[in-house]
Amino acid sequence: MKILISGASIAGPVLGYWLTRSGFDVTVVERAPHLRKTGGHAIDLFGPAMDIAEQMGVLDQVMAHATGTHRITFRRVGGGRPTHIDYGRLSSAISARHVEIMRDDLSQIFYDAGRADIEYVFGDHLTAIDPNGRVTFAGGASRTFDMVLGADGLHSGVRQLVFGPDSGHTEFLGAHLCVVSLPKSFVAAGEMTGYVDVDRTAMIYTADHLDDARAVFLFRPTSGFVYDHRDTAGQQRQLTERFTGLSAEVDGWLDQVAGAPAFYFDAITQLQLTSWSRGRVTLVGDAGYCPGPAVGGSTSLAVIGARVLAGELAAAKGDHTVAFPAYEGIMRAPVLGARELAKSVARSILPSSPLGAWAFIAGMRLVTTLPRPMTDALVRLNRKGIRLYDSIEIPAYSATTPGTLTLSDGVRGNSSTTRTDTGT
């Protein structure tokens, strides 16, 4: 049985890894000419997603690429002395098992884990998908697949092709995110530092294995703010206008923006589909249920969703009419919980008043200074809040290897199939 996955960032490679181990013939198409290296930002991998990485045999690599942040230093505009936060204590309050890693590093690790068993097609994308599984590629070729799985992010092309008017069912969470690559000399290794102000926050960090630092800007737009997602120069001007004067240090960061080797800018938008399956097509990760970039733990949700989808397809012996509803049923509660958590986080990390800025920093300082037994007791009661991602339960799927599982309805092991890897 042939399965096409669109997208080779996080969910796509994880999904492909597990599908091939259940005997499916997997092709992954990626619009970029090679595995994306966009500069990106640090993401959090929480307990269940860490378990999946361990089952894939890549946990040691994940841990080796941890950012190594051990302290966060906050400064409030006009707020006096800086506040230092023990990041280890903070992260342990958020999750019992957790790592912070650069998104590009995690993508490479998951890609390498399964690339030998997957056909990767880079530099192409889908322009049409018919109900019978026949797809047309931008490069002109047409092929037929038993299923098409969209793992191509918040701006998913698969979703736009198949879901029509429903594909744009989103909610703006009131803020914009920008990540910029800056010289590493701007920040000390192991520390994230920056400024919290009313409706805007600017932070910077690096990691030992990075050649640069990453500045992260979060802000609420002013009245009448409009941006063109294709106009990078315009975005850079808008960012500079919004943050100039926050501090002399941040002004120095802004001086580097125009020549930055990597620049990411987007609205923090939450996808709110009520269902993410149509016929032979389903969506996974941000393509189907992005809770909001930088505020909703979307990477862990994508890893978990990919594992559940692969597990349900194997359990249903490739019958998508059984597997897709089961997958949605298992993921619905985590997705709805992530949406609510993301809205709460979006409000808290961008204070709307000077008092709110003080309360935000004081709250994090409190978490890291309370006796650990008290902190642990409090967070265990918060399964729908900061411990949401640790609380997601995943069915115990069997881990098979290519060629060892014989399935009915045309699904069979394919370890003898020669696959073409056009990745780098």
CB atoms within 10 A of CB 331: 23
Q: Which residues are registered as beta bridge partners of 277?
A: 282
Rounded Cα distance between 26 and 413, Å, is 12
C-alpha distances in Å from residue 189, one per residue of 68, 71, 326, 348: 8, 10, 45, 26
In contact, 350 and 200? CB cutoff 8 Å:
yes
Rounded Cα distance between 406 and 214, Å, is 47
| Per-residue confidence (pLDDT) for residue 414, from 0 to 100 | 33
Ranges of each domain in the chain = 2-390
Rounded Cα distance between 420 and 125, Å, is 17
Q: Which amino acid is at 327?
A: Y
Burial label, 314 (beta-carbon count in 10 A; 0-12, 13-18, 19+): buried
Q: Is 415 helix (H, G, I), strand (E, B) or coil?
A: coil
| Per-residue confidence (pLDDT) for residue 398, from 0 to 100 | 79
Any idea which residue has 């919980």 for tokens? 337
Dig out the tokens for 373 from the structure: 């037994």
CB atoms within 10 A of CB 424: 11
Rounded Cα distance between 178 and 200, Å, is 11
DSSP letter string over 291-321? --TTTS-HHHHHHHHHHHHHHHHHHTTT-HH
Dig out the tokens for 139 from the structure: 């490069």
DSSP letter string over 325-388? HHHHHHHHHHHHHHHHHHHHHHHHHS-SSHHHHHHHHHHHHHHHHS-HHHHHHHHHT-TTTTTT
Rounded Cα distance between 299 and 302, Å, is 5
Backbone angles phi, psi at 195, to 5 degrees: -130, 140
Burial label, 137 (beta-carbon count in 10 A; 0-12, 13-18, 19+): middle
| Per-residue confidence (pLDDT) for residue 179, from 0 to 100 | 94
Q: Is 204 helix (H, G, I), strand (E, B) or coil?
A: strand
Any idea which residue has 């394919």 for tokens? 414
Q: CA-based Rg of the chain, rounded to a whole angstrom?
A: 22
Q: Report which of 299, 265, 81 is spatially closest to residue 178, judged by C-alpha positions.
A: 265
Flag whether the pTM goes above 0.85.
yes
Q: What is the DSSP letter of 37?
A: -
| Per-residue confidence (pLDDT) for residue 413, from 0 to 100 | 33
Dig out the tokens for 178 from the structure: 């920008």
| Per-residue confidence (pLDDT) for residue 378, from 0 to 100 | 46
In the chain (424 residues long), the average pLDDT of successive 10-residue segments reads 97 98 97 81 91 97 93 85 84 81 94 97 97 96 97 94 84 93 92 93 91 94 85 94 95 95 91 94 96 86 97 97 98 94 86 88 74 50 64 84 38 32 36
Rounded Cα distance between 392 and 332, Å, is 11
CATH architecture type of domain 2-390: 3-Layer(bba) Sandwich (3.50)
Q: Which amino acid is at 367?
A: V
Rounded Cα distance between 70 and 191, Å, is 6
Rounded Cα distance between 201 and 145, Å, is 46
Q: Report which of 28, 20, 1 is spatially closest to residue 399, judged by C-alpha positions.
A: 20
